[in-house]
Homo-oligomer: A and B are copies of this chain.
Amino acid sequence: MEHAPWSQKGHPFAAYWNLGCAEANAAFAHLIKQLLRETRGRCVLQLAGDPSAYVFLPVEGWLMTAKVDPDGARQIVDFALPGDVLDPASASMAYAAADVVTLGRGRLAMIPREGWQRYLVAHPSAAGLFARQSAARYARMAERMLRLGKSSGETRIAYAICELFLRANPFGLVTHTPFHLPVTQQVLGEFVGLSSVHVNRTIRAMARAGVLTYRGQLDVVIHDLPTLAAMAQIDPTELQATIIPSPG
């Protein structure tokens, strides 16, 4: 994650989106070339209920999809990391089901939906990758709904850390490796359905218990993976197979 894969020769974005087919890769590069865009801070790219004209591809930095209730409380529905394709369409396809917001600075491509669909039809290997990503998103959301509905705050937070660690780190859940989440405790709370106060108390208790260490704006190091996995009620290997799509 240190430098943009963008700078690589040949097919930009190749680290994340490799179809094993030179022509499909070239078509993909052509598709996003003109559509790159820089972002800084937290900025809203799409509002729920507005016309949904674009598919979003983060290249650097994360996006999130969120919904806001009438009281102003926000629930984060999912994150999109580099290599993911985010289509916020609702059942009607013409309007968005959720807000799309950037997290900090980064780079992304916004592709008109028609262009994206033409690309998928023309390149079955891309359609296959997209299908695996959709299945992965479904599996993630199912896993999180289980925690949201039935589990304690501790379990929800431990699970969220495991999920995001797995998604952001190609080596999976490893100990003693620092890793950065571009996420405040407030945002983590909006992800797991807890107040930022309770997130703080819980994560702090985990740190005191020696399970992990962290610094503000969430640079996390896992120390005791078995305990963390037990808190999250997961098997690391199994979870990885369930929620991480195979590339290419």
Which residues of A does B touch, CB under 8 Å? 49, 65, 67, 69-71, 73-75, 77, 87, 89-93, 95, 97-98, 121, 124, 131-139, 141-146, 148-151, 190, 192-193, 233, 238, 241-246
Contacts and interface: CB of A to CB of B under 8 A. Distances in A.
A136 B192 contact: no
A141 B139 contact: no
Given A193-B150, A242-B97, A91 B139 contact: yes
Given A75-B149, A91-B136, A91-B246, A141 B143 contact: no
B242 A95 contact: yes
Number of copies: 2
Nearest to A245: B91
Given A87-B135, A91-B133, A92-B245, 10 more contacts: A67-B146, A77-B146, A90-B136, A90-B139, A91-B139, A92-B132, A93-B131, A98-B139, A137-B138, A145-B145
A97 B149 contact: no
Contacts of A67: 142-143, 145-146
Contacts of A238: 49
7 contacts: A75-B150, A90-B241, A91-B133, A91-B241, A95-B241, A95-B242, A145-B145
A90 to B, nearest CB: 4
A70 to B, nearest CB: 5
Q: Which 3 A-B pairs have the closest CB atoms?
A: A149-B193, A91-B136, A97-B139
A141 B145 contact: yes
Given A90-B243, A91-B245, A242-B97, A150 B49 contact: no
B75 A241 contact: no
A148 B193 contact: yes
Contact of A134 (B49, B70, B134): B134
Given A65-B142, A142-B65, A143-B67, A242 B90 contact: yes
A138 B149 CA distance: 17
